[in-house]
Amino acid sequence: MADQHANISTTVQNDDERSEPLLVVEDFAVRFHTRRGLVRAVDGVSFELHKGKTLGIVGESGCGKTVLSRSIMGLLHDPKVERSGRVLFEGRDVTHLGRRQGRSIRGTEMAMVFQDPMTSLNPVMKVGRQLTEGMKAHLGLTPTQRVESAVRLLRSVGIPSPERRMEQYPFELSGGMRQRVTIAIAMACNPKLLLADEPTTALDVTIQAQILNLLDVEKRDRNMGMILVTHDLGVVAGRTEEIVVMYAGQIVERAPTAELFNAIRHPYTEALLRSIPKLDEPSGTPLAAIGGRPPALHAIPPGCRFAPRCPYAQRRCFEDAPPLTSDASVSAAHTFACWYPVGVEIRPTGGPAVEPAVGPSAGTSARPTVEAVAR
Ligand SMILES: Nc1ncnc2c1ncn2[C@@H]1O[C@H](COP(=O)(O)OP(=O)(O)O)[C@@H](O)[C@H]1O
Ligand code: SF4
Ligand SMILES: [Mg+2]
């Protein structure tokens, strides 16, 4: 299955198409040896990202987003982890960098913002010291310059009275302020790539847009490449140039953002879209939850991994895994892995229809637009 996905890369294009991508992920796989068996957390994922662009990676919980993100950042050092494929950062192969070599890139050229700021902040160290530590290790500024720079950074991420905040501990700050501090720390060494893994999932809904806007501003001001990882298609709808949809460790659909919302092809993407609250619906409208659960990644059944939950599944879906392909008449940049894509007139022939796991009406009612779901 990984092979079928191997040669199709996703590309967030730079205006200058000749420029080298900031990040290239090639047929990348991460497997964990566990007592239950081999867990295929990431299975043959390929994409590219150019500087100044944002790529959204979307999928339900457990589909491999965090394992992928942490592996790109070189943060998985477990001997029970097996990797294949390649990660190239500015043309350098960083797939197998050890802890020490990795440290010179992580936190400087590549930075990460996590879901829960409390897990990345040191609870017993003052905010100011946490900010200046990274600068000390990587930038060689004088102590006074580091403090000045830290205060500037805190101010730039919207923290009022930054001099006072420098002297506080993380527990003295609100969740939103803590996430602003982690963003300031991530920015301290002027990274070229920012990987934000569910950066607003733990935050109050009123704070979420502020933090997402802040990430946007930082990305633009610094011309960084950004990967925004989320379970919520609404989060990436208005904030990315391209979206990759992951299911059970694989890419099932990817497209330039506007194109994806205009012509969703994969039933899983369609189901994800229907599972998010729409701004144009009255509050209290029930969400269309996706029935069933993703397959266990240590016992992946043959065929399409989404088949047991797919309203369009036919016999073939349970037998053959669909490769990533594009509908060349529409766009080569839009790829999807489905035998019976949404909106394409190749409804099944031959063989009786399999009982749908979700009502087929899910595929026929009006589809929300990018404007209606963007946060
Ligand atoms: N250290 C580990 N050992 C075994 N399995 C793991 C480990 N870390 C993650 N996994 C499994 O990898 C899969 C992907 O997890 P994750 O990347 O955290 O998903 P997501 O971020 O999309 O919610 C899950 O099935 C998870 O249980
Ligand atoms: S139609 Fe078949 S191949 Fe396509 S997502 Fe559904 S189960 Fe998978
Ligand atoms: Mg995760």
For residue range 59-89, list pLDDT tens digits in order.
999 999 999 999 998 888 778 899 999 999 9
Q: Is pLDDT at 229 greater than 90 in this prediction?
A: yes
| Cα 209 versus chain centre, distance | 17
Q: Are strands 193-197 and 110-113 parallel, antiparallel or unpaired?
A: parallel
Return the pLDDT at 169.
96
For residue range 144-161, list pLDDT tens digits in order.
999 999 999 999 999 999
Top mutation candidate among 28, 32, 72, 77 for ligand 1, by most atoms within 8 Å of CB:
32
What DSSP state is assigned to residue 76? Answer: -
**pTM of this prediction?**
0.88
Q: What is the rounded CA–CA span in Å between residue 285 and residue 276?
A: 11
For residue range 274-294, list pLDDT tens digits in order.
887 665 555 555 556 788 899
Pocket, ligand 2, Cβ cutoff 6 A? 267, 304, 306-307, 310, 312-313, 317, 322, 338-340
Query: 249 alpha carbon to ligand 1 midpoint, in Å?
Result: 9
Return the pLDDT at 168.
97
Q: Residue of the nearest CA to atom 4 in ligand 2?
A: 338
Tell me the ligand closest to 114's alpha carbon. Answer: 3
Given the CA of residue 60, which atom of ligand 1 is nearest to it? 22
The region of weakest confidence among 5-19, 42-56, 88-102, 103-117 is: 5-19
What number of CA atoms fall less than 13 Å from residue 68's CA on the CB side? 39
Q: Are strands 37-49 and 242-247 parallel, antiparallel or unpaired?
A: unpaired
Q: Is pLDDT at 328 greater than 60 in this prediction?
A: yes
Q: Is pLDDT at 191 greater than 90 in this prediction?
A: yes
Highest-confidence segment of 92-106, 237-251, 262-276 = 237-251
> Structure tokens of 237?
């709808």
Top mutation candidate among 245, 327, 340 for ligand 2, by most atoms within 8 Å of CB:
340
Q: Residue of the nearest CA to atom 1 in ligand 1?
A: 32
Query: 30 alpha carbon to ligand 1 midpoint, in Å?
Result: 10
Mean pLDDT of the chain: 85
341 lines ligand 1 (CB under 6 A): no
Query: 356 alpha carbon to ligand 3 midpoint, in Å?
Result: 29
Please report, rounded to a whole number, the percentage of residues in the chain having pLDDT higher than 90.
65
End-to-end CA distance of the chain: 34
> Structure tokens of 105?
């890139």
Arithmetic mean of pLDDT, 32-53? 96
Q: What is the rounded CA–CA span in Å between residue 50 and residue 37?
A: 37
Return the pLDDT at 363.
42
| Cα 6 versus chain centre, distance | 19
